[in-house]
């Protein structure tokens, strides 16, 4: 019988969970360019701190402060922009992080997955980059203009900007780490699997499907390399297939994407609602229609809707701020983690969500925000007008790109592989503009 070879005490045990976790972490920190994780020996910034800095100093992120969320309603009273939302989401994500760390069992299998603050901010800021000027109006216009060239969706554009377009590393965009890209992949399904062509000429155009572009499949394949092929395949399968006149839906995003996505929902449901109160668009009558679960509200010390209405709509600004803080806290402490049994990779398997009662109330708040603010005639008119202007500028540039495009865009246009790529490059450039910059180009090219 062979004598077993004793393990060398000076070599690490490859089955050690800590060593395996460290190896997995290194895989998720890798960049598509293959550049060094740390720039110099002894560097003080980890890869996620560098990712955060790259996103924050990008031109696309700077333009977010000029992209209004409540155009037509907001005359500067609240000044709500995409940049405002990005910072709120980062703050709320850190609150969710602390809640998950301290309100759950220390033996929870997902605890080691919790992202660090630099990673949270890199993802929270990065996920806003793909939104064009004039919100939904701009997204509709670009989606229609590109209907034969792969369409346009803000979530898909985010991935394209981060990994291809935003100038930092040649051919790799900002060249973020693999885990940042995964966190920004909020809808992990290719467009071809969720797009319904039968509805593309109707109101369906107003809501392009949540997806990534078919042309960016290579990026997604790369970022999912640490997962098994079966995990990658299951992760990209839609949760609902397209039907006649209706798009399908992507499955759930990964662990980080779900955490940041929940923070986005809370920001839109609470902080945008607070702005609506300040603008006089949301009234106590609207609020008292809401029906939170009283057991849940009592458990999170939220109080009854009537009690909250007194402070939310009363004369005291500090009292309203404290009530809004209580509302935010109620959702943050209601976070939990679900899992999919069909996936093995931890960053894909787990998902941050809300207790059923909290989720139902947050959905009610979203409906109220949609009814009173996002679907208000003034906002709809502003977005529609902006979308028409964007489309007009795109058509004008397309008619005479050699004379009208600025030099960098003209050179890229001439080097593009074909008409579809040329249209996409024009759309990339216009989508990155602020509202005011788009208005100036429209005045120069179309309205003159």
CB burial of 162-172 (b: ≥16 within 10 Å; e: otherwise) equals bbbbbeebeeb
Please check whether residue 11 lies inside any domain of the structure.
no
Q: Is residue 437 located within the same domain as residue 354?
A: no
- Tell me: do 220 and 143 sit in the same domain: yes
**Given phi > 0 = left and psi -120 to 50 = alpha, else beta, which region is 435?**
alpha
Residues of the domain holding 353: 259-375
Per-residue burial over 117-149, b if 16 or more Cβ lie within 10 Å, else e, is ebbbbbbbbbbbbbbbbbbbbbbbbbbbbbbeb
Same domain, 227 and 171: yes
Asked whether residue 44 is assigned to any structural domain, the reply reads no
Q: Does residue 6 sit within a domain?
A: no
Q: CA-CA distance, 393 to 381, in Å (whole number)?
A: 18
For residues 48 and 122, the answer to whether their CB atoms sit within 8 Å is: yes
> What whole-number distance in Å separates Cα of residue 172 and Cα of residue 119?
19
Distance CA 267, CA 152 (A): 24
Same-domain check for residues 245 and 276: no
Residue 407 located in a structural domain: yes
Residue 14 belongs to a domain: no
Under 8 Å between Cβ of 216 and 160: yes
Same-domain status, 125 and 237: yes
Integer Cα distance of 24 and 224 in angstroms: 12
| Neighbour-count burial of 56, counting CB atoms closer than 10 A to its CB (0-12 exposed, 13-18 middle, 19+ buried) | middle
Q: Specify the DSSP element, H or E, that contains 132.
A: none
Whether 167 and 274 map to the same domain: the answer is no
Which value, to the nearest 10 degrees, does the dihedral of the CA atoms of residues 282, 285, 287, 293 take? -170
**CA separation for the pair 154, 133 (Å, rounded):** 11
Residue 90 belongs to a domain: yes
Does one domain contain both 311 and 230? no
My answer on whether 186 and 221 are in the same domain is yes
Residues 405-426 as b or e (16 or more Cβ within 10 Å = b): beeebeebbeeeeeeebbbbbb
Query: Are residues 132 and 280 located together in one domain of the fold?
Result: no
| The predicted structure's pLDDT at residue 10 | 53
Q: Are residues 106 and 230 in the same domain?
A: yes
214 found inside a domain:
yes
Indicate the pTM of the whole model.
0.90
First CA to last CA distance, the chain: 92
Q: Give residue 297's pLDDT.
A: 93
Q: Kindly state whether residue 10 falls inside one of the protein's structural domains.
A: no
Confidence at residue 9, expressed as pLDDT on a 0 to 100 scale: 54
| Boundary of a domain, candidates 357, 375, 393 | 375
pLDDT recorded at residue 49: 94
pLDDT at 202: 46
| 240, two tokens | 């609902």
One domain, residues 421 and 349: no
Please identify every stretch of the chain with a pLDDT value under 70, giving residue numbers as ranges: 1-24, 36-44, 198-206, 448
What total number of domains does the chain contain? Answer: 2
Question: Where does a domain end: 360, 375, 390?
Answer: 375
Helix-strand-coil split of the chain, %, nearest 5? 60, 5, 35
Q: Which of 375, 407, 432 is the last residue of a domain?
A: 375
**Number of Cβ atoms within 10 Å of the Cβ of 99:** 18
* Residue that has been written with the tokens 């429209």 in this structure: 442
**Together in a domain, 80 and 200:** yes
Residue 407: the pLDDT is 92
Q: What is the CATH number of the domain that holds 165?
A: 1.10.3210.10
- The predicted pLDDT at position 204 comes to 44
Q: Which residues pair with 351 in a beta bridge?
A: 338
């Amino acid at each position: 019988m062979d004598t077993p070879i004793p393990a060398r005490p000076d070599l690490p045990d490859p089955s050690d969970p800590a060593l395996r976790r460290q190896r997995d972490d290194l895989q998720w920190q890798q960049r598509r360019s293959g550049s060094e994780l740390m720039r110099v020996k002894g560097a003080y910034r980890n890869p996620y701190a560098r990712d955060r800095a790259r996103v924050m100093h990008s031109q696309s992120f700077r333009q977010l402060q000029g992209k209004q969320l409540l155009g037509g309603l907001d005359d500067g009273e609240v000044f709500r922009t995409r940049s405002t939302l990005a910072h709120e989401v980062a703050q709320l994500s850190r609150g969710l992080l602390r809640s998950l760390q301290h309100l759950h069992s220390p033996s929870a299998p997902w605890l080691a997955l919790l992202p660090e603050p630099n990673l949270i901010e890199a993802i929270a800021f990065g996920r806003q980059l793909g939104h064009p000027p004039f919100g939904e109006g701009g997204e509709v216009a670009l989606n229609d203009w590109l209907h034969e060239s792969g369409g346009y969706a803000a979530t898909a554009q985010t991935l394209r900007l981060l990994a291809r377009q935003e100038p930092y590393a040649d051919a790799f965009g900002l060249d973020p780490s693999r885990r940042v890209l995964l966190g920004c992949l909020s809808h992990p399904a290719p467009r071809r699997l969720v797009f319904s062509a039968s509805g593309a000429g109707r109101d369906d155009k107003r809501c392009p499907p949540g997806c990534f572009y078919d042309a960016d499949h290579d990026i997604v394949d790369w970022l999912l390399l640490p997962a098994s092929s079966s995990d990658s395949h299951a992760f990209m399968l839609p949760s609902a297939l397209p039907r006649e006149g209706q798009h399908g839906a992507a499955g759930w995003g990964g662990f980080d994407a779900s955490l940041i996505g929940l923070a986005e929902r809370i920001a839109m449901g609470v902080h945008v609602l607070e702005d609506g109160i300040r603008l006089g668009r949301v009234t106590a009558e609207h609020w008292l229609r809401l029906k939170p679960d009283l057991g849940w509200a009592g458990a999170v010390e939220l109080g009854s809707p009537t009690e909250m209405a007194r402070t939310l709509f009363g004369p005291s600004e500090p009292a309203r701020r404290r009530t809004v803080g209580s509302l935010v806290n109620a959702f943050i402490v209601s976070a939990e983690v679900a899992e999919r049994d069909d996936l093995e990779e931890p960053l894909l398997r787990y998902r941050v969500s809300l207790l059923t009662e909290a989720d139902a109330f947050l959905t009610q708040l979203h409906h109220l925000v949609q009814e009173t603010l996002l679907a208000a005639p003034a906002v709809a008119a502003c977005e529609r007008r902006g979308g028409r202007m964007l489309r007009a500028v795109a058509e004008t540039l397309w008619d005479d790109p050699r004379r009208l495009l600025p030099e960098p865009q003209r050179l890229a246009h001439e080097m593009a592989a074909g008409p579809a790529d040329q249209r996409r490059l024009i759309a990339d450039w216009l989508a990155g503009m602020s509202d005011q910059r788009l208005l100036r180009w429209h005045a120069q090219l179309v309205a003159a």
